[in-house]
Amino acid sequence: MFSVALTDFKAQLKGEIALAEWQAECRTLQPKRDKFEHSFLGDSGPGFSPELTAEQLSVVKARIETAWASLFHPAPTNCAENVVHGYLHEGLRERALNFLGTIQVGQQEVHDLLARQKALEEQIGELNRKIARVEGIDRDGTLNDLTANLNRISSEMEIVEQAIKDKEREEYSLEVTVGNTKASYSHEKSRLDETSPVRSLLGKSERVRAVIDEVVPLLFPLKVKALATAMTKVYKQLAHKDQVAKIEIDDDGTTRILGKTGKEMTFDRSAGENQIFATALIAGLAEVSEINAPLVVDTPLGRLDSAHRENIFKFWIGTPNRQVILLSQDKEIDGDFYARIEKHVCATYLLKHSDVGDGIGRTMVVAGEYFGVAA
């Protein structure tokens, strides 16, 4: 709708410009018409015979006027029928038309500008209301009170800031003094230690002891947690009960076995399960301490069922650098089982007992032999 109105406005301006130009041309030729009429009716040419009466002369003048007007009327088709924008003279019409030709304003832009105008008017109204409130405060003396309080608080802040700066300078001076005092103390202490080696060693030992006393309580819970994690990993390898989720160890050494639901599992462990638990504990301690200590197992398979035997056998041979010493009876690791582990055996010793009489026995160690099997 705005675009149509703008087009109509431009067309009206063009029509009014054309009309003004046509009217100017008519005014320019008006003196020539008067000269023509004077020459036609003057005394310089042949006269009328008989003389024209006043009435006939009036008719002739009217005919001349009509003929002259026919040269310019009707007005050209591009002229406006009515002048709407009479407040604009010819130059302003030209400038307005040229300006409108340089801008392109769409309907949406007009709506945006109107919305912006409305928002600005609302802001102006809000500012006016705030100004009115401030003027109201000023009239009842509140503004003067607030200004006085602000000045007072500013003065107090300057005093406090100055006091802070003074304290900072004082603090810096004390820090310098403390630093110098510490340096003097360290120098004198070094001189004292140099004159007394025993005192120096005692001081170092005291510092080491203090560090140990401080560090051990902090490291113990971490090592306990690492031990529980290592035990859980080994226990899952050895046991065939898959309901065990993890093993927890408290700082006081209390050990709990937790199931998959996170609850503690309470059950009577068999002798074989106790051996599996003990093996997991020893292996966990070796892993956490990073000490490659040998694993000595007495009666290694006597308490275990076949599944546990297979698991613990895999554990023994799982780490090549682990030394495992087995104190076995002949029925535990028989010839068939020995044949399975023979390639992992470094050395064997057979303990032979003999009775020398009166309840006294003697045990001999035979290297490279195992219950009749040559090793």
**Same domain for 99 and 76:** yes
**Same domain for 100 and 21:** yes
**Same domain for 84 and 33:** yes
Report d(CA 370, CA 54) in Å as an integer: 172
- 3-state SS of 183-223 is HHHHHHHHHHHHHCHHHHHHHHHHHHHHHHHHHHHHHHHHH
Over residues 283-319, the pLDDT tens digits come to 777 777 777 778 888 877 767 777 777 777 777 777 7
Over residues 165-180, the pLDDT tens digits come to 999 999 999 999 998 8
Q: What is the longest distance spanned by two Cα atoms in the chain?
A: 201
Asked whether 97 and 10 are in contact (CB, 8 A), the reply is yes
In a domain, 72, yes or no: yes
Domain hosting residue 270, numbered range: 215-289
366: helix, strand or coil: strand
- 3-state SS of 109-132 is HHHHHHHHHHHHHHHHHHHHHHHH
Handedness of CA 96, 98, 103, 104 (dihedral sign): positive
Report d(CA 325, CA 372) in Å as an integer: 19
**Same domain for 300 and 280:** no
Cis peptide before 294 (omega within 30 of 0): no
**Same domain for 94 and 10:** yes
In a domain, 61, yes or no: yes
In a domain, 18, yes or no: yes
Give the number of domains in the chain: 3
Report d(CA 41, CA 65) in Å as an integer: 13
- Which residues touch 90 (CB under 8 Å, ≥6 apart)? 17, 20, 21
pTM, to two decimals: 0.38
Predicted confidence at residue 262, as pLDDT, reads 78
In a domain, 313, yes or no: yes
Predicted confidence at residue 45, as pLDDT, reads 62
Predicted confidence at residue 107, as pLDDT, reads 63
**Same domain for 261 and 228:** yes
Predicted confidence at residue 122, as pLDDT, reads 92
**Same domain for 285 and 222:** yes
**Same domain for 282 and 335:** no
In a domain, 154, yes or no: no
- Stated as kind and residue range, the H or E segment containing 361 is strand 360-367
Report d(CA 370, CA 342) in Å as an integer: 11
Q: Identify the domain boundary among 47, 81, 105.
A: 105
Long-range pairs for 346-350: beta carbons < 8 A, 24 or more residues apart = 347/375, 348/375
Q: What amino acid is encoded at 48 in this protein?
A: F
**Same domain for 304 and 343:** yes
Asked whether 272 and 308 are in contact (CB, 8 A), the reply is yes
Residues of the chain with pLDDT under 50: none
In a domain, 130, yes or no: no
Predicted confidence at residue 49, as pLDDT, reads 66
Q: Identify the domain boundary among 105, 133, 160.
A: 105
In a domain, 363, yes or no: yes
Report d(CA 230, CA 282) in Å as an integer: 10
Predicted confidence at residue 159, as pLDDT, reads 92
Give, rounded to a whole angstrom, the gap between the first and last alpha carbons of the chain.
111
Q: Identify the domain boundary among 262, 289, 316.
A: 289
Predicted confidence at residue 199, as pLDDT, reads 66
